[in-house]
Amino acid sequence: MDKLKFKAATWQNLIRFERANAFFKPKDKVLAGLSGGADSAALLHFLKQLASRGHFEVYACHVNHGLRAQAARDADFARRIAAESGVPFVLKKVNVKALARREKLSTEHAARKARYKAFGEAAKKLGCGKIALGHHLDDHVETILLNLLRGTKAKGLLGIPARRALGRLQIVRPLLCITRSEVLDYIKAHNLSFIDDETNFEDIYTRNWVRRRLLPLLESKQPKIRRHLAAMAADLAEYIQNS
């Protein structure tokens, strides 16, 4: 993809999405979740561009779950790209295995619970009112399909919300309007560095199976399945809100 064409199309899509959701205001303090992966690297860069125009502050937080041999490497990488971006950095360590045993949770569920708690603690300590996360449209669609597979009520078909409350904090997802492929195009267009989490390629996790097996199969029959499912979720959200 031509870089100029990418910047004109995807950048405008991101800007329209941000304006439609009014994610940020002047003088906001925003904590960005920074795993070091492509999604969070693109998020941090995008937030820095917005902050320079919108006059708000950006901080970064990396959560070490204590699950992977590469955890220290990931934390060091996240610290480095935050420093290169001129963003204050916070490292939080959590014990996911202990939480999973204590509360009888799956590793995935325990990691998510511990991660959000860590983000909340870091945000409060820094005085941030908002936590920005790098979920994109593919994550949104995968969540809808996962909820369908597990069995869900109408709320489960809404997927991932663009914003939601976490106590007195707000979680916002500025990249939710673009696909994983567009995130990678963003990375290439801006020459950003990132690291891969090798567990994303293991089908032992149901989400990975949906991402690597089910979605491509559905896409072979309907190339626009991702956009169709996202549009369905948006229509359903509007219906629920107005009913």
| Most confident listed range (40-44, 107-111, 152-156) | 40-44
User: What are the extents of the domains in the chain?
Assistant: 3-242
**How many residues does the structure list for the chain?**
243
Rg of the chain's alpha carbons, rounded to an integer?
A: 18
**Total-model pTM:** 0.92
Phi, psi for 105 (deg, rounded to 5): -110, 160
CB 168 within 8 A of CB 120: no
**What CATH architecture applies to the domain 3-242?**
3-Layer(aba) Sandwich (3.40)
CB 14 within 8 A of CB 45: no
Task: Report the pLDDT value the prediction gives residue 206, as an integer from 0 to 100.
Answer: 82
- Looking at residues 5-33, what average pLDDT do you find? 89
Q: Enter the tokens of residue 58.
A: 């950006």
pLDDT digits (tens, 9 = 90+) for 55-105: 899 999 999 998 887 899 999 999 999 999 999 999 999 999 999 999 999
Q: Enter the tokens of residue 47.
A: 């937030």
- Looking at residues 127-144, what average pLDDT do you find? 97
Give the model's confidence band at 1: pLDDT under 50 very low, under 70 low, under 90 confident, else very high.
very low
Tell me the C-alpha distance between 170 and 161, whole Å.
11
Task: Report the pLDDT value the prediction gives residue 6, as an integer from 0 to 100.
Answer: 59
- How many CB atoms within 10 Å of residue 138? 20
pLDDT digits (tens, 9 = 90+) for 185-240: 999 989 999 998 655 555 556 888 999 999 999 999 999 999 999 999 999 998 88
Task: Report the pLDDT value the prediction gives residue 8, as an integer from 0 to 100.
Answer: 72
pLDDT over 70, % of the chain? 93
CB 184 within 8 A of CB 38: yes
pLDDT above 90 (res 144):
yes
pLDDT digits (tens, 9 = 90+) for 24-65: 999 999 999 999 999 999 999 999 999 988 889 999 999 999
